[in-house]
Amino acid sequence: MIIRRGLIEDMPAVLELITELAVFEKEPHAVEVTVEDLERDGFGPQPLFETFIAELNGEIIGMALFYYRYSTWKGKTIHLEDLIVKEEHRGTGAGSKLYAAVMQYAKDQGLRRVEWAVLDWNTPAINFYEKSGARVFTDWRVAQMDEQALQQFTLQQQEKNLN
C-alpha cells in the first residue's frame, strides 16, 4: 500500500469514495459535486483542497481531502473534510496511514491545528481519534446553511433593505 498526494486523474475515484462516504453517513443523495468540480477546484490556479490517496496494487482504496482555514486564535489551520476507505479495505491500516499523512503534512507546514467533524454515532472513529490524542468536543455544534436556506435568507435580506 502506498500513500501519495492526489492527482487530477484520481478525481473520478475520489468522487466514488465521496459517494460511498455519503451512503455510510446515511445521506446517499446529498452529493452534488461532480468530477469536473473536483478537477477545477482542486487543480485550478488557486486550488481549494488537497488530497492524499491510499493505493493498493494500482487501485485507489481510500482518500483524505483537506483544505486550509484560518483561525483567529491559531492562525493557518487545516480542516480535514473527509477521510474514507472503501468498505472492503477497512481494517487494512489505510485509514490510519491517510490520517497520519495529513497530520505529518500539517506538522511539516508548521500548523497549530487540524480539525474535522465526526458524527456522534460513529463510535469507532471517535475512539480512534481520541486514542490518537485528538479531543472530540461535545459542546460545539456545527451550523450550516444549504443552498435553499441561503437563497431564502438573502431574499429576506433584500426585502428587508427595500423597506
Q: Tell me the pLDDT of the chain (163 aa) as tens digits.
A: 999 999 999 999 999 999 999 999 999 899 999 999 999 999 999 999 999 999 999 999 999 999 999 999 999 999 999 999 999 999 999 999 999 999 999 999 999 999 999 999 999 999 999 999 999 999 998 899 999 999 999 999 999 998 7
Amino acid residing at 75: G
Integer Rg of the chain from CA: 18
* pLDDT at residue 75 in the model: 97
* pLDDT at residue 113 in the model: 97
Nearest to 52 by CA among 111, 107, 116, 100: 100
Q: Which of 67, 68, 105, 129 is catalytic?
A: 129
What are 32-79's pLDDT values in tens digits? 999 999 999 999 999 999 999 999 999 999 999 999 999 999 999 999
**129 belongs to the catalytic site:** yes
**pTM, two decimal places:** 0.92
Rounded CA separation 74/130 (Å): 21
Cα 84 vs. chain centroid, distance in angstroms?
A: 9
